[in-house]
């Protein structure tokens, strides 16, 4: 039996976290609870702790729900809560902030997918895992530090000055993840989509995220610029690796340039 006067604050915090994330305490743990938590005239120490534990678990569930809103919709409230509870039991919060609570959730879903032991895999777990990973990345991008005021670009800005804005993130998926997310936040109540290779870009300006479905050629062009290549070298990269003609890219570039500037992809 542990007396509260015999343990340090870090030990007490670790004990408290262990009690909160476990299920029903053992007989020895109940004795410990009664020595650490005060009882009242109406409630025992264990009852006090159970009330706090229920509130704590509810807050963690709410945090998971907020970090994975589209995933919760796709799975349905009951199934999402079941997955979230299993995850929280396997990976209890270890940080002072709940911002990173769902960091390992995509990997957890991959590890525990129902067809993990089957040679022939179903497609819907792949969609769920991709959506979970995308949503968590959105939360990271929202919190990413960004530069302040930047030079206003126009279609006449010389190409040799252009580079990608630091807060531009490119994604490729095996499902239409970005479009599904956009449809969800626009209250279109999307159905589970069919597989299909898709590409998207995410930016953040004035603490607002911008999500853009882009074509494969645009993804590879922007990816090339992200690796440090100039506009001209990125065109040559597309021409060499994806069977584009330079003259065709030069014709379409003014349209791409205007779109990229308007979307906040480019800076100088």
Residue 169: name the closest of 148, 147, 142, 193 by CA.
Answer: 142
Q: Work out whether the CA dihedral 102, 106, 110, 111 comes out positive or negative.
A: negative
What local confidence, expressed as pLDDT, does residue 121 receive? 82
Interacting residues of 118 by C-beta distance below 8 A, sequence separation 6+: none
What local confidence, expressed as pLDDT, does residue 192 receive? 95
What local confidence, expressed as pLDDT, does residue 32 receive? 65
Pair 168, 265: CB distance under 8 Å? yes
Residues of the chain with CATH 3.90.930: 150-267
Strands 266-267 and 198-205, bridge-based pairing:
unpaired
Q: Where are the alpha helices (DSSP H) in the chain?
A: 9-21, 27-36, 45-67, 69-75, 77-90, 105-111, 124-143, 177-185, 216-226, 231-241, 246-263
**What is the C-alpha to C-alpha distance for residues 138 and 143, in angstroms, rounded to an integer?**
9
Kindly report, residue by residue over 144-197, the tens digit of the pLDDT: 876 655 677 899 999 999 999 999 999 999 999 999 999 999 999 999 999 999
Helix (H, G, I), strand (E, B) or coil at 178: helix
- Structural fold of domain 150-267: Outer Surface Protein A; domain 3 (3.90.930)
**What is the C-alpha to C-alpha distance for residues 99 and 113, in angstroms, rounded to an integer?**
24
What local confidence, expressed as pLDDT, does residue 231 receive? 97
Distances (CA, A) of 122 to 115, 118, 192, 197: 7, 9, 13, 17
Residue 70: name the closest of 184, 177, 241, 155 by CA.
Answer: 184
**What is the C-alpha to C-alpha distance for residues 155 and 9, in angstroms, rounded to an integer?**
60
What local confidence, expressed as pLDDT, does residue 1 receive? 46
What local confidence, expressed as pLDDT, does residue 15 receive? 62
pLDDT < 50 positions in the chain: 1-2, 27, 31
Report residue 108 as tokens: 């957890």
Report residue 223 as tokens: 């990816």
Residue 134: name the closest of 218, 193, 59 by CA.
Answer: 193
Pair 19, 33: CB distance under 8 Å? yes
Report residue 182 as tokens: 């956009």
- Cross-strand pairs, 214: 199
**What is the C-alpha to C-alpha distance for residues 205 and 263, in angstroms, rounded to an integer?**
10
Interacting residues of 91 by C-beta distance below 8 A, sequence separation 6+: 104, 108
Interacting residues of 112 by C-beta distance below 8 A, sequence separation 6+: 86
Q: Is 183 exposed, middle or buried (0-12, 13-18, 19+ CB in 10 A)?
A: middle
């Amino acid at each position: 039996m542990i007396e509260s006067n015999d343990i340090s604050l870090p030990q007490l915090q670790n004990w408290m976290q262990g009690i909160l994330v476990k299920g029903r305490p053992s007989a020895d743990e109940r004795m410990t609870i009664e020595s650490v938590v005060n009882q009242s005239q109406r409630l025992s120490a264990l009852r006090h702790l159970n009330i706090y534990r229920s509130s704590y678990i509810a807050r963690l569930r709410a945090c998971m729900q907020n970090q994975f809103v589209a995933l919760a919709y796709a799975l349905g409230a009951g199934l999402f809560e079941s997955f979230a509870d299993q995850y929280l039991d396997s990976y209890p919060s270890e940080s002072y902030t709940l911002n990173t609570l769902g960091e390992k959730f995509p990997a957890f879903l991959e590890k525990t997918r129902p067809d993990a032991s089957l040679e022939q895999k179903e497609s819907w777990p792949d969609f769920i895992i991709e959506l979970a990973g995308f949503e968590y990345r959105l939360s990271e991008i929202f919190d990413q530090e960004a530069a302040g005021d930047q030079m206003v670009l126009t279609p006449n800005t010389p190409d040799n000055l252009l580079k990608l804005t630091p807060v531009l993130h490119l994604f490729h998926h095996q499902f239409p993840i970005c479009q599904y997310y956009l449809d969800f936040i626009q209250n279109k109540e999307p159905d589970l989509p069919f597989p299909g290779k898709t590409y998207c870009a995410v930016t953040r300006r004035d603490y607002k995220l911008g999500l853009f479905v882009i074509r494969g050629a645009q993804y590879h062009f922007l990816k090339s610029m992200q690796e440090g290549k100039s506009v001209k070298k990125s065109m040559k990269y597309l021409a060499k690796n994806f069977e584009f003609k330079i003259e065709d890219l030069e014709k379409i570039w003014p349209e791409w340039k205007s779109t990229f500037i308007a979307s906040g992809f480019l800076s100088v």
